[in-house]
Structure 1
Amino acid sequence: MLRLWTAKHNSTHNQLLKCIHSTSLVNASPENSDVFKPSGKWTPESIRTGLIARKRGMTALWNDQGVREPVTVLQLDNCQVTANIVTTRQDKSEYHAVQVAATDKPIKTTTRQMLGHFRKAKVSPKRVVKEFAITPDAHVPVGTTLSAIHFVPGQYVDVIAKSIGKGFQGGMKRWGFKGLRASHGVSISHRKIGSTGAHQDPGRIWPGKKMPARMGGQRITTQNLPVLRVDSALNLIYLCGAVPGVDDAQVMIRDAKKHLAVGRHNQAKGLYEKVLPKGVDDLPFPAGTSEMAKNLPTIIEAPAYKRSPFVPQE
């Protein structure tokens, strides 16, 4: 397994490491490139497009310190750009977005409207179509095939998906209530939620009270998950921790909004070394493409920068 981040003694590897996440628009642009021409350089003010992936399940990895870390494996399924969107709002500001589609779909089960849309983008019909808001400099040429190297090992991402539905649940399972006494003095009310309101004043239950109801089955966002490994051959992304959704569910991945906000704040203060997470020098811009993946190692893994838990503290 090749770990470019740990190759410090070889000057050739160091030179490759510095340019590993620089994007060449010429290599990433297909023949049907549109009028959008990104600058090719990521800045803290830039917002890149996200990706559509499928949750393949959970497993475990061991880092270079021998620590076991639970990871969720996400796989890109022929994720391609189908449109660039520019809309003028009522206040004369512009909304920019990139439309991304994934997972091939048979032609006979695709509507004629969507067939014409995919034919115009020169891509095969897709099952899932989503759009991601971006900055004006982050448009991606239509037809570009996105790769797993769009995300850099060591950075943080947000994952958006529909959580697993658990049906109607009580207050203890849904909200973590303590419940009533499990010994003497309580009769068949051990899992009750207790008092829910006051007396005649206000004479009702306040809106938003935590009570039993349907649990799960909603669109949620899990924030700030670190990327541990990227496999460009199989288009796999290994994230530390759990993400919402069942196995084989479609999920959306994007750069972590909160970490980007902190990076912009550090950029304004002049703390340039803290704009991106430790070990990450740059991000593929405007996107990580399959053409770019051909010039990089198949597997890229981020090292553990924390202190080893097996080394005694002095």
Structure 2
Amino acid sequence: MAGICNKLFKLTISTNFCCLETTYKISLQVRNRQKNVPRLRFPLWYLKKERTLYPEKLTLENKEFIEEVVHDTFGPPAVLSGISTYKTTSPLKTQPVEKGVWTENSKRCGLITRKIGCYPMWDKNGKIIWSTLLQVIDNHVVKYTPPEEVDPPRKPKRFLKPNKYGVLLVGAESANPQLYTKEYCGLFTAAGLPPKKFLGKFNITPDAIIQPGTPLTACHYQPGDIVDVCGKTVDRGFQGVMKRWGFKGMPASHGVTKTHRRGGNIGGGGEKGRVWPGTKMPGHMGNKWRVLRGLKIWRINTKYNILYVQGLGVPGETNSLIYVHDTLLPLRKRKESPLYFPTFYPQLVDTPLPDDLYDSTVHPFDQPSITFA
């Protein structure tokens, strides 16, 4: 009887003395657009992040003592550039690295930002410029892996060449270490940093190495730089061909019945005679990583670490993560050394920077637009 129940109802019945335990198995459909190719190997920093929270029955004095230890280790809590973090005053714990010299083949680190909205600006001729605001959220360099130690999971089968790029691990947005596992917090011990909520990997050349523990700000770039942004698009769910692919649809009247928003023929006769792979059909829309290349930085706010990037097409919802790095377009790549290489160091600047840095073609709002002779 138990075998029949297992085949028909997928029930698992186990009897132990007088205890009867029943387990039901339910299948739920999950709609997404992820690749079905399994990951060959996880990276070194792919560890269990969140720990299991349970009632520890700590007294008020114990909680205050734990918070005191956290503040003594990472510094007192503070709000820096509009982001809640810890005010670290300890020097960098790792050995200092030698500063490299920029070349045309140099590839430096990027930033992890958060999309916070859109904003209009005007150039000096009165033409409107729409921009997207990307805020750099408490970025720090966590770890550097030299090229000889980088072992990618997928390697080319032919023309195998030695790897020339190292890996720089960047963390964003400091968090309370009590919320994470011991293994995950151990990633930041060598750099002397509190655990970060988000991690990002950037491939760099050895001449663009940055010492672990160094903060990264919006001054990593300058107004006029061309960057590429990467983010996850807005999840639209299951959509038809008119919204997903922009089809015109069928006529609204004149004999059309029940096909107003349909896609029409998908596999004609003759030589075609089938549905070809890649045919535009209804399906899941959005929730995919997309890269937008060749965006110009019009303005930088140094007080709150905000980048004003060209256009309104930056992928992702508001408050979503956006990864920013130097553009890879061959005709818009950097031809000369950046102002700060490999990154911006505040201690090397004699005078403090202004709150807003503008491109030469943008009209600053704090200056008059019309002058009379």
TM-score, scaled relative to structure 1: 0.76
Q: Which has the larger radius of gyration?
A: 2
Partner of 1:32: 93
Aligned residues: 260
Alignment partners' CA distance in 1, 2:348 and 2:111 = 16
Partner of 2:354: 297
Partner of 1:247: 318
Residues 1:64 and 2:124 aligned together = yes
Deviation, structure 1 residue 62: 2.2
Alignment partners' CA distance in 2, 1:62 and 1:263 = 23
Alignment partners' CA distance in 1, 2:317 and 2:291 = 14
Deviation, structure 1 residue 125: 1.2
Specify whether residues 220 and 263 from structure 1 end up closer, same or farther in structure 2 by C-alpha distance, changes over 3 A only.
closer
1:185-264 → structure 2 map (5 Å cutoff): 185-199=255-269, 202-242=272-312, 243-258=314-329, 261-262=330-331
Deviation, structure 1 residue 36: 4.0
Task: Report if the CA contact (8 A) 1:32-1:141 is conserved.
Answer: no
Task: Report if the CA contact (8 A) 2:249-2:261 is conserved.
Answer: yes
Per-residue Cα deviation, 1:220-279 (whole angstroms, up to 9, x for no partner) = 111111101011111111111121111111111011110xx2267xxxxxxxxx836xxx
Task: Report if the CA contact (8 A) 2:93-2:190 is conserved.
Answer: no
* Equivalent position to 2:225, from 152, 155, 175: 155
* Equivalent position to 1:174, from 231, 238, 244: 244
Partner of 2:54: none
Q: Return 5+ residue gaps in structure 2 as ranges.
A: 1-90, 363-373
Partner of 1:282: 338
Alignment partners' CA distance in 1, 2:348 and 2:116 = 24
Alignment partners' CA distance in 1, 2:242 and 2:346 = 47
TM-score, scaled relative to structure 2: 0.65
Q: Return 5+ residue gaps in structure 1 as ranges.
A: 1-29, 265-273, 306-314
Letter in 2 for 1:61: M
Partner of 2:102: 42
User: Cα RMSD between the aligned structures?
Assistant: 2.3
Specify whether residues 69 and 263 from structure 1 end up closer, same or farther in structure 2 by C-alpha distance, changes over 3 A only.
closer
Deviation, structure 1 residue 202: 4.9
Relative contact order (alpha carbons < 8 A, sep ≥ 6): 1 or 2 greater?
A: 1
Identical residues among aligned pairs (%): 34
Letter in 1 for 2:133: V
Alignment partners' CA distance in 1, 2:236 and 2:141 = 34
Alignment partners' CA distance in 2, 1:181 and 1:289 = 62
Per-residue Cα deviation, 1:4-23 (whole angstroms, up to 9, x for no partner) = xxxxxxxxxxxxxxxxxxxx
Deviation, structure 1 residue 284: 2.1
Per-residue Cα deviation, 1:160-203 (whole angstroms, up to 9, x for no partner) = 11111001111111111122223423222121111101237554
